[in-house]
Amino acid sequence: MTRSLVRVLVISVAATALHAAADEGMWLPNRLPTKQLKEKYGFEPSAEWVEHVQRSCVRFGSGGSGSIVSADGLVMTNHHVGSDDLEKLSTPQRDLLKTGFLAKTRAEELKCADLELNCLWSIEDVTERVNAGVKSGTSAADAWQERLKAIAQIEKESQDKTGLKSQVVTLYLGGRYHLYRYRRYTDVRLVFAPEQQIAFFGGDTDNFEYPRFNLDCCFFRIYENDKPLKSEHYLKWNPAGAKEGDLVFIVGHPARTQRAVTAEHAGFLRDGFYTGRLEALWRREVQLMSYGARSSEWERQSHGDLFGVQNSRKAITGIVTALQDPRFIQRKADEHRKLRDAVDAKPEWASKWGSAWDEVAAAEATYGRLYDRFSLFEARGGGVLSYSDMMRGARTLVRLAEEKSKPNDERLEGFRETDLESLYLQLYSPAPIYEDFEIDRLASGISLAVERLGGNDPTVVKLLAGRAPRELAEQAVRGTKLKEVAERRRLAEGGTAAIAASTDPMIALARLIEPEARAVREKYMDEVEGPERQAYGKIAAARFAIYGEDQYPDATFTLRFSYGAIRGYSENGRNVPAFTDMAGLYARWSERGKTGAFELPQRWIDGRSKLRTDQPFNFVCTADIIGGNSGSPTVDREGRIVGLVFDGNIQSLAWDVGFTEEQGRSVCVDARAMIESFRTIYDAGPLADELLGR
């Protein structure tokens, strides 16, 4: 925590900040804030400009963003986005996180185990069709089921017709539905990664801080039919980089913000949702540190989980810090009060939308009561029991069998025909599995269920069946055959009969949890998600009616355009400049004793004299981002790469619930630092040449 977090957060809410000077907003590609861009920056993006940039960007299935940056399908992202794949490509003998990687030839490029990239190709507003089937007087729960059915039909129809991966996205928390069609790439190969020590220099200590000195980049290449993709669209490199004050765009996939929520909803985020997440993260962080401390091999296995947990913990701590300031919730209450008063003032509006705020409050209260069971057994793709890869696989197999036996439009999300290709890519992944670590993960999840529900809870009693949590985890992990891809395939293809007949202990555990998980999911859908989507649909309608259509929706892990200027800020009376340089890297290295998270790779020590000390390294800008934006390209007015987003500063963490640009900044690797280090440190001239189009 830094002292600056204590500052009064002056946070605006999207709907009311339209004409503010702030560079706020994660804008839909088909609804850019053209007026603001013209007024503030004198820039008018053409439709071609937008389409070109949009089609040059990719979403990482594993979470994160990226962009195509050469005519031969080269993809740029962050090291910490690619690290999941680096880990899967590593072995006890070859630790790519430690050594880094460079393919000297295309033949040396390493195929990723289960990486999927999606490129947004087209958008269609399907709001009317999604809502068409809902008759007036239908309950919110039934209405949501009707909408989900319509969504499944629209997706299937589109995918069958176009061959493109098709997803209907709920925008404005239920105010609009857009159909997104993606080009899908699954042959993705590793080209270059620096050592984690320079990519994540400063570790958890400097994460979300600024100034920074990180080469947090990683390059892959897309293949089609075993040949490099001939990219129709890709982003060119600006070798001159950008300078202070320049307008830049960040184009990527922010995963989730919660800015449009009501004050009561924000109260539950503060007291229930995020507190529950933080408690699980603190716990898991300590457990992972203990596991990794036992040996260097265990450290290697658990490193990725630890990074993820620390990163989330620090991000959520920032959000909770904002939420715990009573002034924050008060502002939110005031803003919604104003909106609600405007609605209540007009009888027609009041009767259509006036109940929405109470409906949200009721849904959140229900969520509070469901929260423990939902987060344990179902949320986020399987609940905490699915810390274990094998357990997650078993849960998927059990559910898949049942869902596949239903008509497509009655299946749960994630199991429709349009989802199955991606599902199989994960399910049949040949990525390595480490038994000791799986036991630790599964035992941790089971113990958490005992801690949260208590040892006398009927589900816990049934789950343990007289065994200690770790004993149960050992039995399941040592006894399962799911380690073999062939066995997973056999069970997936065997359907309900194969699942019912299986004596595999991991499948048995998954079967046991499934009814509990389905029950809590159904309750969540009927009493939280359904009513809330409907209620927020009303609030969105009121907002559109009162403030106009020129608004951006909360983030949804779909493509957004943010804009802003490269600009430093002031902190505790000190000026924090926009750019850092190479000299700063070595200064920080010395200052922090050159050890631990501040150790430099030998290459960077040896190559020091070859680097220009004033070479820009990282920079900050005011463009609006959130988790999921990692790996997004930072482009200039010409759509050329000038940087690579890898972080936000600590003041930006509150952006989850509200934007402020007084101190909050996005943090980028400077494009020039990549080229310079490829040439002088990594002997990777050909990669630099490819980026520069030479």
Cα 424 from chain centroid (whole Å)? 21
596-to-203, 333, 617 alpha-carbon distances in Å: 9, 45, 21
Residue 132 CB coordination number (10 Å):
12
- Smallest distance, its own copies to C-beta of residue 520, A: 20
Q: Which of 560, 587, 684, 683 is nearest to 255 (CA)?
A: 560
- Smallest distance, its own copies to C-beta of residue 451, A: 5
List 13, 247, 443, 673, residue binding its own copies (CB under 8 A): 443
- Smallest distance, its own copies to C-beta of residue 670, A: 26
Classified as helix, coil or strand, 123 is: strand
Is residue 296 a contact residue for its own copies (CB under 8 A)? yes
Is residue 10 a contact residue for its own copies (CB under 8 A)? no
Find the binding residues for its own copies in span 299-318 (CB under 8 A).
313
- Smallest distance, its own copies to C-beta of residue 449, A: 10
- Smallest distance, its own copies to C-beta of residue 448, A: 10
Q: What are phi and psi of 332, to 5 degrees?
A: -65, -45
Spatial distance between the Cα atoms of 73 and 76, rounded to a whole number of angstroms = 10
For helices 356-377 and 435-453, the axis angle rounded to 10 degrees is 130
Q: What does the DSSP 8-state code read for residue 641?
A: E
Task: Please choose, out of 44-52, 56-64, 277-285, 659-667, the segment that lies near its own copies by the rule CB under 8 A.
Answer: 277-285
Residues paired with residue 361 on neighbouring β-strands, in sequence order: none
Spatial distance between the Cα atoms of 215 and 220, rounded to a whole number of angstroms = 16
Q: Which of 596, 455, 540 is nearest to 261 (CA)?
A: 540
Spatial distance between the Cα atoms of 500 and 490, rounded to a whole number of angstroms = 13
List 456, 503, 572, 575, residue binding its own copies (CB under 8 A): 456
Q: Which of 323, 252, 270, 269 is nearest to 666 (CA)?
A: 252
- Smallest distance, its own copies to C-beta of residue 28, A: 33
Is residue 573 a contact residue for its own copies (CB under 8 A)? no
Residue pointed to by tokens 């809902």: 134
- Smallest distance, its own copies to C-beta of residue 594, A: 13
List 129, 283, 567, 640, residue binding its own copies (CB under 8 A): 283
List 42, 245, 458, 466, residue binding its own copies (CB under 8 A): 466
Is residue 594 a contact residue for its own copies (CB under 8 A)? no
- Smallest distance, its own copies to C-beta of residue 465, A: 8
Nearer to its own copies, 71 or 464 (CB): 464
Helix, strand, coil in percent for the chain, rounding step 5 = 55, 15, 30
Is residue 656 a contact residue for its own copies (CB under 8 A)? no
Nearer to its own copies, 38 or 467 (CB): 467
List 372, 438, 440, 647, residue binding its own copies (CB under 8 A): 440
Q: Decide if 66 contacts 629 (C-beta within 8 A).
A: no
Is residue 323 a contact residue for its own copies (CB under 8 A)? yes
- Smallest distance, its own copies to C-beta of residue 191, A: 32
List 365, 450, 485, 587, residue binding its own copies (CB under 8 A): 450
Task: Please choose, out of 264-272, 347-355, 387-395, 675-683, the segment that lies near its own copies by the rule CB under 8 A.
Answer: 264-272
Nearer to its own copies, 323 or 621 (CB): 323
Spatial distance between the Cα atoms of 309 and 288, rounded to a whole number of angstroms = 9
- Smallest distance, its own copies to C-beta of residue 647, A: 16
Residue pointed to by tokens 């933080």: 278
Is residue 590 a contact residue for its own copies (CB under 8 A)? no
Contacts of 552 (CB under 8 A, 6+ apart): 14, 25, 26, 27, 28, 31, 33, 560
Nearer to its own copies, 455 or 479 (CB): 455
Tokens standing for residue 136: 């007036």
Find the binding residues for its own copies in span 326-345 (CB under 8 A).
326-327, 329
Is residue 582 a contact residue for its own copies (CB under 8 A)? no
Nearer to its own copies, 131 or 275 (CB): 275
Residue 180 CB coordination number (10 Å):
22
List 106, 338, 467, 610, residue binding its own copies (CB under 8 A): 467
List 5, 485, 545, 576, residue binding its own copies (CB under 8 A): 5
Is residue 468 a contact residue for its own copies (CB under 8 A)? yes
Residues counted in the chain:
694
Is residue 407 a contact residue for its own copies (CB under 8 A)? no
- Smallest distance, its own copies to C-beta of residue 445, A: 13
Find the binding residues for its own copies in span 40-69 (CB under 8 A).
none
- Smallest distance, its own copies to C-beta of residue 206, A: 9
Tokens standing for residue 70: 């050469």
List 71, 113, 278, 365, residue binding its own copies (CB under 8 A): 278
How is 247-292 classified by DSSP, letter by letter? Answer: EEEEEE-------S--HHHHHHIIIIIHHHHHHHHHHHHHHHHHHH
List 91, 139, 162, 290, residue binding its own copies (CB under 8 A): 290
Instruction: Output the CA torsion sign for 85, 89, 91, 96.
Output: negative
Q: Exposed, middle or buried by CB within 10 Å (0-12, 13-18, 19+), for 149?
A: middle
Q: Which of 592, 567, 570 is nearest to 578 (CA)?
A: 567
How is 48-68 classified by DSSP, letter by letter? Answer: HHHHHHHHTEEEETTS-EEEE
- Smallest distance, its own copies to C-beta of residue 282, A: 4
Dihedral, CA atoms, 50, 52, 56, 62, nearest 10 degrees?
Answer: 30
Spatial distance between the Cα atoms of 630 and 288, rounded to a whole number of angstroms = 24
List 267, 601, 639, 643, residue binding its own copies (CB under 8 A): 267
Nearer to its own copies, 206 or 419 (CB): 206
Contacts of 347 (CB under 8 A, 6+ apart): none
- Smallest distance, its own copies to C-beta of residue 456, A: 7
Nearer to its own copies, 107 or 465 (CB): 465
Is residue 458 a contact residue for its own copies (CB under 8 A)? no
Spatial distance between the Cα atoms of 653 and 468, rounded to a whole number of angstroms = 39
Residues in contact with its own copies, counted by CB under 8 A, come to a total of 49
- Smallest distance, its own copies to C-beta of residue 464, A: 6
- Smallest distance, its own copies to C-beta of residue 17, A: 22
Find the binding residues for its own copies in span 197-226 (CB under 8 A).
203-205
Is residue 564 a contact residue for its own copies (CB under 8 A)? no
Task: Please choose, out of 118-126, 141-149, 325-333, 481-489, the segment that lies near its own copies by the rule CB under 8 A.
Answer: 325-333
List 1, 20, 21, 240, residue binding its own copies (CB under 8 A): 1
Left if phi > 0, otherwise alpha if psi is -120 to 50, otherwise beta: which for 176?
beta
Distance separating the N- and C-terminal Cα atoms of the chain: 45
Spatial distance between the Cα atoms of 2 and 482, rounded to a whole number of angstroms = 46
Applying CB under 8 A, which residues contact its own copies? 1, 3, 5-6, 203-205, 267, 270-271, 275, 278-279, 282-283, 285-286, 290, 293-294, 296, 313, 320-321, 323-327, 329, 440, 443, 447, 450-451, 454-456, 461, 464, 466-471, 474, 593, 597
